Amino acid sequence: VLDLAVLGVVSEQARSAAEVITVVKRLGGGRFQPTSDVIAGRMGKLVEAGLLAPVPDDDGDEVRWQPTASGRAHVQRLLMMPSAPPLDALAAVCACLKICFLEVLDPEARDAVLDDLMAAHRRALRQAVAALSACPCRCISVQRYLAREVERWESELSWLEALAGDLAPAGAWRRE
């Protein structure tokens, strides 16, 4: 998750360590709040692995970081990994990061990631529908809570479909 977050942030543009830390902390919202030391430590490991490299700065004041060719390939592999339904916190953060960094990918790969994310959301929706229909408890609060979960997954899926449409060139994206 940290590799995807750090490499995704610097794939958009070269950034200082402080900028990377700030953006990574914002991306995860309440679900993913690594400390500054953890993010900086992971950046160090990415440098050691040859996935992150310093960029000369015109002013020479601050080191800026960008992915190496290996780092770009690594972030693309991470983005293309199959998605689990975003039911738990880790899967939800991974889905969040994949959505945030879609524009790092070429259009064909971006479509594949969106299709995968939508398939994962459809699985979560099917699970929510099954939970609602199979729940033996008929308490109004239980039924409403389970129905709300169905509505939430329907809304998430609709939002992803709209995003796919916004990113597609002239309506090229297909709805499945």
Residue pLDDT tens, the chain, 176 long? 999 999 999 998 999 999 999 999 988 777 788 999 999 999 999 999 999 999 977 776 789 999 999 999 999 999 999 998 888 888 889 999 999 999 999 999 999 999 999 999 999 999 999 999 999 898 999 999 999 999 999 999 999 999 999 987 644 444 44
Task: Determine the Cα–Cα distance for residues 60 and 65; give it in Å rounded to an integer.
Answer: 13
User: Identity (one letter) of the amino acid at 77?
Assistant: R
Q: Are 85 and 117 in contact (CB under 8 A)?
A: no
Strand order in the sheet with 15-16: 15-16, 64-67, 52-55
User: Rounded to an integer, what distance in angstroms lies between the CA atom of residue 14 and that of residue 23?
Assistant: 12
CB 115, CB 83: distance < 8 Å: no
3 state DSSP class of 52: strand
pLDDT of residue 111: 93
At residue 101's C-alpha, the angle toward residues 95 and 106, to 5°, is 115
Which amino acid is residue 44, in one-letter code?
G
